[in-house]
Amino acid sequence: MNAPFLIAQATGPEVATDFSAQSKPPRLIKIARPQDNQAVTVHLDGNTKLDLSDVASDKITFVRVGDRLVILFDNQATVTIEPAFGPDGQILGDITFQVGPDRQLSGAEFAAAFPVGGSNSTGILGYVVAAQELHDQRPDIDKIIVPVGSAGTAAGLAAGIKMLNWPVTLVGACVSHTETESREDVRRLAGDIDIQVTDRAVGPGYGIPTEEMWAAVRLFAATEGVTLEPVYNGKAAAALVDMIRNGEIGDDETVVFLHTGGLPGLFAYAPDLTASV
Ligand SMILES: Cc1ncc(COP(=O)(O)O)c(C=O)c1O
């Protein structure tokens, strides 16, 4: 896909944190690169400074999984920090990040430097192009089903579908928000476009596994050889399975399940996955 990418900018203001105003200095946790394939979990408990300066020049990816921040290394090792996010989805206010010898960021600045998701007017352009690409390949399809978190993916597809005047139905499967919120998110990002959304598979909340999700993950693996992670595609697949079982998707319809990737997210659920199979 020859589309624009939204690159996380590792820039931002330096923060001179004055700890004199606080009752005690933060607990310092230095993050180091684990050995190959190792999964390390760091449990946070209140006022903490995470020192990432030793891994700042490593190839790392930050992934939010529920209330956890997972750092993925290119040697297939992970460091999971939990909890790193509150119920409102924001980074907890009592975490600061040391990202270089002289550079410290508050949680909010860290989140802005490494934005979680790219759901803005630039970010959705990639999926406008994806709609064009899909249309070029399969103009005949009836439905596209896609997970909806912050709705950038769905908004880009919706905008692309509208531009193409393509009579396909886009179905967004909510993974975190209600149907009303998700529909509003799509409109905020893509303009005056309504898409079909369903929040039937969200369960108790974002990133919280459900039995239907695990059943869909097993079904896709066993029948298609396709691996899904639990947070986005597992829940969207659960919604798809339910729609088929209810007859909302007919035998004669051609449906594209748009797999948005994110496989590393599965590793954060290794114990739950093992228990479910
Ligand atoms: C696997 C996966 N799919 C989809 C998304 C994004 O969905 P949305 O564009 O609705 O936020 C994410 C975002 O983190 C993701 O990790």
Give the angle 158-207-5 at the CA atoms, nearest 5°.
45
Which pLDDT band holds residue 8 (cuts at 50, 70, 90)? Answer: very low
- CATH number of the 125-276 domain: 3.40.50.1100
The pLDDT tens digits for 98-113 are 998 889 999 888 887 7
Is there an atom of ligand 1 within 6 Å of 260 CB? yes
Determine the atom of ligand 1 nearest the C-alpha atom of 231. 1
Whether residue 87 has pLDDT greater than 90: no
Delimit the domains of the chain by residue range: 20-113, 125-276
Structure tokens at 193: 């476009």
Which protein residue's CA is at the shortest distance from atom 11 of ligand 1?
150
Determine the atom of ligand 1 nearest the C-alpha atom of 116. 14
Which of 237, 250, 260 has the alpha carbon at shortest distance from 142? 250
The pLDDT tens digits for 51-77 are 999 998 898 888 877 788 989 888 888
Count of beta carbons in the 10 Å neighbourhood of residue 47: 17
Which pLDDT band holds residue 117 (cuts at 50, 70, 90)? Answer: low
